[in-house]
Amino acid sequence: MEHGKKGRGKTSRRGFLGQALTVAGTAIAAPSLLNQSSNAKDNLETAEGNMKVTLNVNGKQQSLTIEPRVTLLDALRDRLGLVGSKKGCDHGQCGACTVLVDGERVYSCLALAVMQEDKEIVTIEGLAKGDTLHPLQTAFIENDGFQCGYCTPGQICASVALLDEIKRGCASVVTPDLTRPPQLAELSEAEIKERLSGNLCRCSAYNGIVAAVQQAAGQKAPSPLADLMLSEPEETLT
């Protein structure tokens, strides 16, 4: 691993900018303030050493010079401008940052960018083929699997991985017989819910999300509204 010797000041400033935005939680901080603090920080950081990293993101090789502490999520959002992956909790608790690494879903907030070399990273931006949406993106739209949309990219990435896991025969803790994991067509609502429990949605779009996964799994998705009406006692319907 080679330590980048050139242009450290510049990338460090960007590094600090990313950090400052994260700490503030918003982008409202005045740019002048950020510049001042980052100048002070530059001198400190040159001593610590950035690294050159090449990431394969959505099929493209991307070269970055970053501090080793930069997470994959910050690298994607702040350095590569791929802001589809969201920062919710930043501690592996909400799922908003979910991306696919070598075909498996991971939380990019709990992964260091420098550790992702030679791996294939796919983000929400990489799921559609040109103007053709991924079947799960379509299913989310058709089943109204989102409200504010903040959790949606992570939910969709997680759902894409979920269907793949079913095809590979992965069991879940609610699978009754570990030696007979569920097939796509028989994937129960309980299985879908357990398998998507690593993604939280404050707006509770859950019914639409479950329906979207059912549809993409080739099942008949009950519309969330129909589901709700069926579970209501009859008197309230009239």
Ligand X SMILES: Cc1cc2nc3c(=O)[nH]c(=O)nc-3n(C[C@H](O)[C@H](O)[C@H](O)COP(=O)(O)OP(=O)(O)OC[C@H]3O[C@@H](n4cnc5c(N)ncnc54)[C@H](O)[C@@H]3O)c2cc1C
Binding footprint of ligand FES on the chain (CB under 6 A): 87-90, 92-97, 107, 109, 146-152, 201-203, 205
Query: Rounded to an integer, what is the distance from CA 77 to the centroid of its chain?
Result: 11
CA distance 96 to 51: 27
Name which of 135 and 198 has its Cβ closer to ligand X. 198
Choosing from 34, 51, 133, 141, the residue that interacts with other proteins (CB under 8 A) is 51
Does residue 129 come out as left (phi exceeding 0), alpha (psi in the -120 to 50 range) or beta? beta
- The reply on whether position 68 binds other proteins by CB under 8 A is yes
Of 122, 147, 88, 125, the closest CA to residue 97 belongs to 88
Closest approach of other proteins to the CB of residue 135, in Å: 20
As a three-state string, the secondary structure of the chain is: CCEECCCHHHHHHHHHHHHHHHHHCCCCCCHHHHHHHHHHHHHHHHCCCEEEEEEEECCEEEEEEECCCCEHHHHHHHHCCCCCCCCCCCCCCCCCCEEEECCEEEEHHHCEHHHHCCCEEECHHHCCECCECCHHHHHHHHCCCCCCCCCHHHHHHHHHHHHHHHHHCCCCCCCCCCCCCCCHHHCCHHHHHHHCCCCCCCCCCHHHHHHHHHHHCCCCCCCHHHHHHHHCCHHHHC
Closest approach of ligand X to the CB of residue 199, in Å: 12
Name which of 138 and 147 has its Cβ closer to ligand FES. 147
Name which of 177 and 232 has its Cβ closer to other proteins. 177
Residue 105 binds: one of ligand FES, other proteins, ligand X, none (C-beta under 5 to 8 A by kind): other proteins
Tokens 């070399």, residue located: 117
Closest approach of ligand X to the CB of residue 106, in Å: 10
Name which of 50 and 108 has its Cβ closer to ligand FES. 108
Taking CB under 8 A as the binding criterion, the range among 77-85, 102-110, 201-209, 228-236 that sits at the site for other proteins is: 102-110
- The reply on whether position 9 binds other proteins by CB under 8 A is no
Name which of 10 and 60 has its Cβ closer to other proteins. 10
Taking CB under 8 A as the binding criterion, the range among 30-38, 125-133, 161-169, 223-231 that sits at the site for other proteins is: 161-169
Closest approach of ligand FES to the CB of residue 206, in Å: 9
Choosing from 23, 178, 185, 230, the residue that interacts with other proteins (CB under 8 A) is 178
Binding residues for other proteins (CB under 8 A): 1, 45, 48-49, 51, 67-69, 71, 90-92, 95, 98, 104-107, 110-112, 114-115, 158, 161-162, 165, 168-179, 193-195, 197-199
